[in-house]
Structure 1
Amino acid sequence: MTHLQKLLACCLPAEAVKSIHEQMYVHPSLQQAASGTVTRAELAQALNMALFHGLVQRVPAGQDYIASDVVAQKRQVVFDHGALRTVRWPSGALPAGEAAFTRVLRPLGFELQGTYPLPRLKMTGRAYCHRDFPEEIAQFFVSELHPEQFSAPFQSAVTRVLSTSRDPLGPQDVADLEQLTRDGTLPLAQALRLLPQLLQCFDRQHGVFAMDDYELLLAESAEMAWIATEGNAFNHATDRVADVDAVAERQRALGRPIKDKVEVSASGRVRQTAFRAATVQREFITAQGRVTRDVPGSFYEFITRAELTPMAANDPVQTPRLDLAFDAGNATGIFGMTAARA
């Protein structure tokens, strides 16, 4: 067995481990036979694969696509990036904003690749790229919402919703991450214990809250309303495809809930589209007791990245490189996939 297989087996059923290996491309260097010491890249890849699997289970359109466009066509997903949303605000026992994730991402080998202001959404996006395998290990796009830019009632509602947040990482997890930062590796037994704890970070950490607060948040920010119901779960996972326009046309012809347009970056090198978010049921507190309501969940995205052209003949990197950057305009358009629909 490889380290990846052993790591995934500690947090996914055997059939899921088998299917995710069949469905997703993994660089050969990350599929070495188990030796007892796990690298940060192997642990990062295992985390990404488990998160991708969880996302697909929550998105029916993504499941249909995997079945008909991946498995049936005998190809593999190239996992480009996963996205999550955070709030730069006091959050109970959880570190505020992206700090809850940088403490995980940096030990795993991810480093800040770019910052993307999203003023229309009153958010800031940051992309974290793996330093060892930048094109092969999926990036993380972490967005922070800034409640101080909203109304006082909105801020109060954010405080009430997030106040019950717990921290899924304990002292041993923090110590393991510090060791990983120092050494770049962990003994297999520690990595097997740590991975399920890391997965818990990508979930909702706060409890059930008032429907009135949800309505208040939704009136000013669909993004904060989404965070209120879904927490820090993967907002979307993205499949890197050769021709996103062709993929979109096929999905539209199949009657799947694909976005009306493809977003194109200012450079023209990055093109993105997505399925509309799945609908999920969440519980709220009202004066009459607890009730459930349909709200937007997560979604599946597609991206095409063109190669960068070397800036000059003396560019030290002459081999083809993908444009791994993001685009604030694209991101703003894609965020609309989770807007609540009547």
Structure 2
Amino acid sequence: MTKQDPDMVEALAATVLGEQRASEISALLQPMVPFAPAQDISRATFAAALNMVLFAQLLDRVPSGAAYVADVRASQGSVLFDHGAIRTIRFAQGPTGALPAGELAFRRILEPLGYEDAALYPLPTLRMTGRAYRHRDFPETIPQFFVSELHVDQFDAEFTAAAHRVFDASVDPLDTPAMDALARFAAGEELLFGDAAAALPAIVGAFGRQHPAPMLSDYEDLLFASREAAWIATEGNAFNHATDRVPDVVALSDGQKSLDRPMKDKVEFSRTGRVRQTAYRADMVTRTFRTPEGERQLTVPGSFYEFISRDVDPDTGLLDLSFDSGNATGIFHMTKAS
């Protein structure tokens, strides 16, 4: 593949990351879009820059992933960023605070940037549903988004009340420049660099926590019934994980275990066998909770780094970009507390 345009993707990412960090991430990641010098920013260029920033931020929060990436860099290798995953909350009716309900908070961002809702993945044991958003222009190289939503109406009244107390305070991070940029992308326009740079920070900010620190009692009520809901209470809509597409995930898993890295016990295989996944266990993070006596800090599961191998689908001759509900459920367990 040809080199992506450093004056577009890297420079746009640098408006958030800074020039040095953007250069490091650009050198690490395999190109997401072809080299195509242009005056303006296309939806694909913006999507690539957004993914660069989100990948860098994930590494900042996940020391185990950063250590692996340091090994890749030291061996002069590269990372093929396959997908990022986010979790959302959906109530039985209405929005999630000031956010659109559940995954709709991200559909409004991803579709204007060229993504389509490619597949639905029920996750019944978690009382969640996942959706794969795949880029129309460069589906194999621009990372997918696996967006899941937790169905509050499938839990009891106590859980529902705690969820409302936590998530009803959510604010909408998208400002006027971001909304204008998304509307223009949706209309098929390209943006001047300055307009894209003005929109990027708020759109990056959507991949974070939009509600205040939860009450500890509410967190405990959520945790009792759903580790996933508790995770969203502390981490919000941040990347739950970022995924590196590798040739042989089984061999990689064995190698990482030999280094005493915090690797998942077993590799998950899809029903077809063409998609295989494993991951590090989530790094633990310190988060603040509110109590009647004042703030209290606890150590809870944060985000993690994942690995995937994909084979060609013999029926299409194309790379199998699908996911698997069983695989996804197994990977979700990486955010269990140690």
Scaled by the length of structure 2, the TM-score of the pair is 0.95
Q: How does 1:65-214 map to 2 (within 5 A)?
A: 65-68=68-71, 70-89=72-91, 90-214=95-219
**SS of alignment partner, residue 305 of structure 2:** strand
**SS of alignment partner, residue 16 of structure 2:** coil
Q: Residue 313 of structure 1 corresponds to which residue in structure 2?
A: none
Residue 300 (structure 2) pairs with residue 339 (structure 1): no
Q: How does 1:1-342 map to 2 (within 5 A)?
A: 1-27=6-32, 29=34, 31-33=35-37, 35-68=38-71, 70-89=72-91, 90-310=95-315, 320-341=317-338
Percent identity, aligned pairs only, is 51
1:36 CA displacement: 2.3
1:32 CA displacement: 3.1
What's the CA shift string for 1:125-158, capped at 9, x where partnerless? Answer: 0000000000010000000000000010000000
**SS of alignment partner, residue 11 of structure 1:** helix
**SS of alignment partner, residue 186 of structure 1:** coil
What's the CA shift string for 1:4-44, capped at 9, x where partnerless? Answer: 12201110022211110111000461x333x3211100000
Alpha-carbon contact 2:33-2:141 (below 8 Å) kept: no
1:340 CA displacement: 2.1
Q: Which runs of 5+ in 1 are unaligned?
A: 311-316
1:75 CA displacement: 1.1
What's the CA shift string for 1:230-286, capped at 9, x where partnerless? Answer: 000000000000000111011100011000000000111000000000100111111
Q: Which runs of 5+ in 2 are unaligned?
A: 1-5
Alpha-carbon contact 1:107-1:184 (below 8 Å) kept: no
Q: Residue 314 of structure 1 corresponds to which residue in structure 2?
A: none
Alpha-carbon contact 1:258-1:275 (below 8 Å) kept: yes
**Cα distance change of structure 1 residues 73 and 212 upon mapping to structure 2, 3 Å threshold:** same
Between the two proteins, the alignment pairs up a number of residues equal to 330
**SS of alignment partner, residue 284 of structure 1:** strand
Paired AA for residue 82 in structure 2: D
| RMSD between aligned residues | 1.1
